[in-house]
Structure 1
Amino acid sequence: MRASERVYSSLKDDILAWRLTPGTELSEVDQAMRLGVSRTPLREALARLSAEGLATPGRGRTLVVSDLSPGDLRHLYELREALETQAARLAARRRSAEVFARLRTRFADATALLDGTDPERTRYYELVADLDRAVDDAMASPYLHRSLATVRTHAARARRLSRDNPARLEQAAHEHLLIVQAILDGDETLAAQATAVHLRMSLATILASLAAAPTEGAPEPPSAGVPS
């Protein structure tokens, strides 16, 4: 792996996991020392993060980790809804019934993955990721796929703002099941509507969690949160 790719992946992971919080200065000197690289691959990595909107200009020529204010989150979810409802429509139109039948069976049992034996909800989030991949494959739209990849990066970061909410997690599992069933049935309208409802509920939960967070200092989100 090239040094710039390794640095990019490391910084991106730190931003998504909130180890580098909004407003953190991404000093070339400091980050090069921390990651043990020269400034050339670091600059390449920072340029990619800037292009993706994960880093923005700070004072002088320094980049900082981009903000995620309530306004930013609303704009993000407006775009998610536009893209993901269209993805759901196309998936319902072009889906493989076999793939979504298997997902329906897995989501029907999804609440068992939230019984507390897996505090990180790793298996549940893997199931959600499998649904995303299945929708991406079914919609067969490379341009939409690329746009969704960028939006989902920011969504993964936003999700970490939410506090642990078992009731919301279970409700989200039911919402995902409805989306899967609509796609399996080839019902484009219901697939899009169910996706929109899920995203709006997710945004409401994140905003409520953000409003309840301490007003001073960086947020300390749990490792789980709510599904995107």
Structure 2
Amino acid sequence: MRAGERAYQALRADIVEWRLSPGQVLGEVELSERLGISRTPVREALSRLTADGLTEPHNGRGVVVATISAEDVRSLYEFRDSLDCRAAELAARRGNPEVFRALAADLRRAVDGLTSDDDPDHVSYYELVQRMDAAIDEAAANPFLRQAQAGVRLHLARVRKLSKSDPQRLASAADEHQRIAQAIADGDPALAIATTRVHLSNALQHALNTKELAPVRPAAS
């Protein structure tokens, strides 16, 4: 793997996992020393992260980790409503019921695991959510929808981690995902849309109540 790709993946993971905080300055010299590579691949990685919207220019020179405001989260979930509900509907019409029955069973078990201390970082739950996202993409069988989802999920992964310190919300989210999976397994498009919309509404409200969000940006004059 090229040094620029390694740097990009490492920094992207640090941002998504909140190991790098919004507003934190990302200096090329410091990053090249930490990652053990030259400044050129670091610069390449930072350019890609800025194109992704995960970093932003800082006072005309250098970059910082992009902030996430309540306005950003609302916009993200407005877009998700269109994409996720349509994907769930198509998956219910086209998907393999057995795949989603298995996911629903795993999600039911995940509810209990999220209230224990066995997996404090909830890695297994987030992996299960990624499995469900991939299964819905495959079942929906729409390459344009899949492409649109890819960009949204990069930012969604970051927002989802706002629930990491709230096992009760994670357990509720797992239950909501289980209901979506079951509706798809049952081949019920209307219920798949409804359960997806309930999950999105609950996830949005929880995200808006977290202290990590930045203040709403002032309107441009």
TM range (shorter): 0.7 to 0.9
Instruction: Using structure 2 for the length normalisation, give the TM-score.
Output: 0.88
The question of 1:50 aligning with 2:50 is answered: yes
The question of 1:6 aligning with 2:6 is answered: yes
- How well do the aligned residues superpose, as a CA RMSD in angstroms? 2.1
| CA shift for structure 1 position 83 | 1.3
The separation in 2 between residues aligned to 1:50 and 1:180, in whole angstroms, is 34
Query: What letter matches 2:85 in structure 1?
Result: T
The separation in 2 between residues aligned to 1:86 and 1:150, in whole angstroms, is 16
| CA shift for structure 1 position 102 | 1.5
The separation in 1 between residues aligned to 2:101 and 2:164, in whole angstroms, is 32
Q: Which residue of 2 aligns with 1:29?
A: 29
Q: Residues 191-210 of structure 1: CA distance to partner in whole angstroms, max 9, x if unpaired?
A: 12211110110111122122
Structure 1 pair 51–104 and aligned structure 2 pair: CA distance change class (3 A): same
Q: Which residue of 1 aligns with 2:172?
A: 171
Aligned residues: 214
Q: Which residue of 2 aligns with 1:160?
A: 161
The question of 1:102 aligning with 2:123 is answered: no
Correspondence 1:23-172 to 2 at 5 A: 23-116=23-116, 117-162=118-163, 164-172=165-173
Unmatched tracts of structure 2, length 5 or more = 216-221
| Paired residues of 2:85 and 2:197 also in contact (CA < 8 A) | yes
Q: Secondary structure at the match of 2:163?
A: coil
The separation in 2 between residues aligned to 1:121 and 1:19, in whole angstroms, is 16
| CA shift for structure 1 position 138 | 0.6
The separation in 2 between residues aligned to 1:33 and 1:163, in whole angstroms, is 30
Structure 1 pair 179–158 and aligned structure 2 pair: CA distance change class (3 A): same
Q: Which residue of 1 aligns with 2:219?
A: none
The separation in 2 between residues aligned to 1:113 and 1:181, in whole angstroms, is 19
Q: Which residue of 1 aligns with 2:218?
A: none
Q: Secondary structure at the match of 1:56?
A: strand
The separation in 2 between residues aligned to 1:9 and 1:206, in whole angstroms, is 25
What is the percentage of aligned positions where both structures have the same residue? 49
Unmatched tracts of structure 1, length 5 or more = 216-228
Q: Which residue of 2 aligns with 1:185?
A: 186
